[in-house]
Structure 1
């Protein structure tokens, strides 16, 4: 059964206001909600204003003292999520493991990270365990689960500026395929000095207030958080919830083109839009309005205009298109959700959101951008919302707005179950290249963790030895990549080879790619932030900036291997790789792709180890640190059979739960999760052999 996914709760905080009502009022009126950037270190930048939140008091929203110590992006998230849950009338604890969380962010704990590098420069690098955790991109998800008692699967999507749009799609898959009955979904980002300096160094910022598709060219950054509560339609109906919208479909893609610039042809963006329409079961004629990514930069606005024209063809000229960023700025990882909330709020008011500050169309921008003032919504309250990102990660979501209480909404027709199998594996570990090397070392009982000096401390570590990429594929070029990107590319190429998958671009476009990580590449992060702090924010080179975001790894792999298919990046702690495999399997079940590479990569750098040692981690304990990259090729069983692939295993079932929202003991929590996995697999405990 492919279930319908409805929206029953909304929450927002941004420069336009502290609620979805205030956001909708501002956007419908075309009001630009910008203020001057107050940081004196940034006064020499082109960027003079941003969509900033004023007078936010964390203590009014965050009551747990430990969570108050976390980064401000977490506090924004709790404020918006609380609104959404209250609006939905839903208490997550009541649903136990049937309610999940899909959180999203771009820069995440960047204010905390900046403060840490400032202390390092001052010769005060020490970290408490709490501050080390506060630097994690997934700290927000943990805090949300703990605050609201969410006990189901929890994951953080880190695809930069498309993150929360992708999160809504991934959560809808979880519900459609029966993984959960409901999910809290949203994104959050704060204004960051090093982030605005990076955009300014790329000459991507506007000198005044932005004017997407018009003049002046350039973006304004914003900050904020947006959340929705998604539910299985039958669950919402049974509890008499008010439905405010429905998620009809979504699409993901990767440009496989450039670290920061979009493919000028708009092809990659058009793929995401095309896939969203396909899952929604709609044609271009069914969409009267597109909420554009619309950053205001010359490259982005031109490429998106081409992508929209490519998809909507002769209808493009009569299509209403506008940019919410013209009013609240570019809110990065929160942008997708906030912009969908704004469009829902405007649809309820019966007006298209406008593009504010519009002074005539810019060259290459030839559509109807709803200039300056909203106008009457024509036709059905259905819209497409686009968000595109550094690293080439694109997301499009198709939404139907409209309220209904306890309506007799029906699920989609039954569809045959989709068996998902594993047909290949590729690894890069301390044992070397390929799973055979790892298995051989295990059979010999060989430890792969050699002693290594980490500053003042010696500790064992499993470090990947040098590997000649030409031994993997003589066409492969990993020069210039950071370490996790090199490891991930080698392992992914090995996986494609082991799967005997064809190398033609049209075939590779059908391969999904789910990348799981614990954190971003440490090298670019350290280079970008320390150079700014040491040079008083007068940056002379910006090569590192596009690679600070966690999804830069996926972008590097996708470009090297021409992967333009269903593509996302998931961040978490231990076990995120397993959850990524399960979510990739759900993407196959939902029909986004017939095959998908799912796996994980993490490096072990001097910076990472220095932080762990500083925070008091037991690096000489029973579990040595290590680095590796591993991918599995997952396939629809029918697809694998049609191409005569060898089936190594079949995924029978899975279950995931968040311990952060649990009051029970860890043992009880783990036992329930294992039992749930066995139940979903349709087997008995006695059937498990290992």
Structure 2
């Protein structure tokens, strides 16, 4: 790549605080194993989609795709942290791309605590899960197979990235299917702008999986020739694999380090269609809202958009819906903004698409070249925009958009600016405002409602029963009370839990969902029941037996999409998969969206469903030898709002969400710092964010769930916090079970209930600290204040 533009200095008095810039990129795709190879292939219009050789292709709708063919391996041995022996390709791709991006950025001297990771993926380590499942079926597994379950969750790759480069700041994984990479950029941008990190390693990765190939075959979405987006003769998409990673940094940090400044992240927009599990809204209504949101945040008018790197899958419905969205968002200016698709040359990289296509967009700005759409056969009137057919186009451009739209109606648009170009005026920073909790709901093995949960905890009544050597607490509820028979035929148990808890929480808050209400869902395990239901017939030797009714439920964000469809919440939507800390991560993302006025309210369900395969994985993991550990299911939802909007509608305010922080141990997959250093940093930073001294705390709700290697470090960290000697440290998960990603919501409900009616043991209401941690050393702390303090 060539010609990096020097960042110009804004006129005196007009500098914008916490400007986010791109100062390094790396990629592994079918074009090659560098970002330079990606750009050179894309700009030349070369389609690298061809016969797939790395996995058996019999029985699928096509045998071509954008396959990665590199033999290079990353320098970091992520298997060493847990004693594994078999590599996960999605992790390899991410680490290789990250090495390149960090080398280009060249930022040194920045404290590890000021570096974070934001990682997007559709499938995470699903290829590893497929191999393990196949070996279980044919009884050919090895002695260390159980350890490799640690590679399956998307958060494992985020934690491998943290461990590889010693990045100890915020760490999260986001899974919004084909928009995951773009969401990762959006959430990282907020972390930098809020001052929680100075630089973030950001991107996405996905490898070919049997699930994806069989799934898109079942939907009859695959083309037998390289995809031809926006063309009149297009007949489907081409799958691809690979990774894209970017280094985002606060502008002054990048300049001080002498880093190349490739582009500026001007803004982003997120939305939900609330329309269909797989098909986009035909008029592109949700996608148009995301584009408008990006323009507003960036301070761009429709006429300022010089180029759009489109979602452009090559399917009939997606391409026409995107074209309609662009016209709806840009109006008459749509005809003057070239719209091209990189997927025509590398395939659809699913969760990595947003990151890889952001790199292409950035390089288009750097070199002032609009890359082409390959394989173009002529304009389809249903699309009708300028698709830059076949050959690149030199043109002046100062601002460009990158579109990514996904299953379950998750939409994202990121706006990038040329740093040497003209200055745009972004929307002013909103006035500081409190974020409050106005509603909640719980479905757990204790029953429905917070009161049932409170009573079980107060009685010290252990929940659950033994299931094959594990203690499991099942959530027992009647989905018929919340969904119709027709709806239940299309959705899995995870989505049923999400819909039910969300409906209950909205009712408790007295809130009607609309386009200003978002959904941020947390799940550590995701739709594993649906994945098993879909995958097992495929592994049985029948790729064409994958069910088209089940496949849409196999993406992690299916549940959030179903919530949006069923309750009408069409604001920003995201799904975070930060392992056992996923619910806490969802709350932090929702908090940041509200602070920036991206929504008036955000619904935050945390849901987990324990499938047979999940339980088998936990039995095989070398972490759960401790007695007294209980796995729990549940759906627990909170409603967050800005204080002004809550008061304007006369809502009851239950608590203030006063502060939060995320820290990583950076010890690698499946490992914690045994001194509790990361936990302590998260707690102290959250208290500082909330303006609360440790001595002011009236309770600490610990992450402890009966797992010695995690509980011990947390206890050490809590002991160093200097809270009052009589400040209780509550450990409800030791009684009620570990609800995987819903732990933070569980503790929040108990804290809220303790303030209701003076049930806090006579200590008096005051701020509390809630801890939540993943199995790989990602720690999130939240600070809540009772409503009586407002």
TM-score by length of 1: 0.93
Aligned residue in 1 for 2:505: 495
For the structure 1 residues 194 and 487, does the alpha-carbon distance in structure 2 shift closer, same or farther, using more than 3 Å as the test? closer
**2:428 is aligned with 1:384:** no
Aligned residue in 2 for 1:425: 440
Aligned residue in 1 for 2:30: 15
**2:176 is aligned with 1:165:** no
Determine which of 599, 615, 627 is the counterpart of 1:621.
627
Aligned residue in 1 for 2:474: 463
Q: How does 1:247-646 map to 2 (within 5 A)?
A: 247-378=265-396, 380-402=397-419, 415-449=430-464, 451-452=465-466, 454=467, 457-467=468-478, 469-470=480-481, 477-502=487-512, 507-539=513-545, 541-615=547-621, 618=624, 621-646=627-652
Q: Is the 8 A contact 1:570 1:576 kept in 2?
A: yes
For the structure 1 residues 437 and 347, does the alpha-carbon distance in structure 2 shift closer, same or farther, using more than 3 Å as the test? same
DSSP-derived class of the 1:311 partner: helix
Quote the Cα distance in structure 2 between the aligned partners of 1:401 and 1:675: 38
For the structure 1 residues 669 and 321, does the alpha-carbon distance in structure 2 shift closer, same or farther, using more than 3 Å as the test? closer
DSSP-derived class of the 1:515 partner: strand
Q: Is the 8 A contact 2:430 2:596 kept in 1?
A: no
Cα shift at 1:480: 3.8
Q: Which runs of 5+ in 1 are unaligned?
A: none
Quote the Cα distance in structure 2 between the aligned partners of 1:238 and 1:118: 51
DSSP-derived class of the 1:242 partner: coil
Q: Is the 8 A contact 1:659 1:666 kept in 2?
A: no
Aligned length: 677
Aligned residue in 1 for 2:45: 30
Aligned residue in 1 for 2:100: 83
Cα shift at 1:290: 1.1
Determine which of 114, 134, 137 is the counterpart of 2:130.
114
Q: Is the 8 A contact 1:584 1:596 kept in 2?
A: yes
Q: How does 1:42-57 map to 2 (within 5 A)?
A: 42-57=57-72
Q: Is the 8 A contact 1:233 1:411 kept in 2?
A: no
Cα shift at 1:325: 0.5
Cα shift at 1:413: 5.9
Aligned residue in 2 for 1:670: 679
TM-score by length of 2: 0.81
1:115-165 residue CA offsets vs partner (Å, 9 max, x unmatched): 112112213567644211012221101111110001011100111110001
For the structure 1 residues 546 and 349, does the alpha-carbon distance in structure 2 shift closer, same or farther, using more than 3 Å as the test? same
Greater shift after overlay, 413-422 or 144-153? 413-422
Q: Is the 8 A contact 2:502 2:637 kept in 1?
A: yes
Q: Which runs of 5+ in 2 are unaligned?
A: 1-15, 700-790
1:588-623 residue CA offsets vs partner (Å, 9 max, x unmatched): 112211211123111122221122223455477222
Cα shift at 1:381: 2.4
1:303-360 residue CA offsets vs partner (Å, 9 max, x unmatched): 1111111111222222211101111111111111111111221222221111111110
Q: Is the 8 A contact 1:100 1:182 kept in 2?
A: yes
For the structure 1 residues 608 and 680, does the alpha-carbon distance in structure 2 shift closer, same or farther, using more than 3 Å as the test? same
Cα shift at 1:550: 0.9
Q: Is the 8 A contact 1:3 1:412 kept in 2?
A: no
1:217-255 residue CA offsets vs partner (Å, 9 max, x unmatched): 211111111111111223223333321111111111111
Quote the Cα distance in structure 1 between the aligned partners of 2:538 and 2:559: 22
Quote the Cα distance in structure 1 between the aligned partners of 2:23 and 2:543: 44
For the structure 1 residues 670 and 41, does the alpha-carbon distance in structure 2 shift closer, same or farther, using more than 3 Å as the test? closer
Q: Is the 8 A contact 1:4 1:412 kept in 2?
A: no
Aligned residue in 2 for 1:4: 19
Quote the Cα distance in structure 2 between the aligned partners of 1:490 and 1:415: 33
Quote the Cα distance in structure 1 between the aligned partners of 2:578 and 2:510: 31
Q: Is the 8 A contact 1:12 1:226 kept in 2?
A: yes
1:546-585 residue CA offsets vs partner (Å, 9 max, x unmatched): 2111111112222111221100000022222122212210
DSSP-derived class of the 1:652 partner: strand
Quote the Cα distance in structure 2 between the aligned partners of 1:124 and 1:557: 40
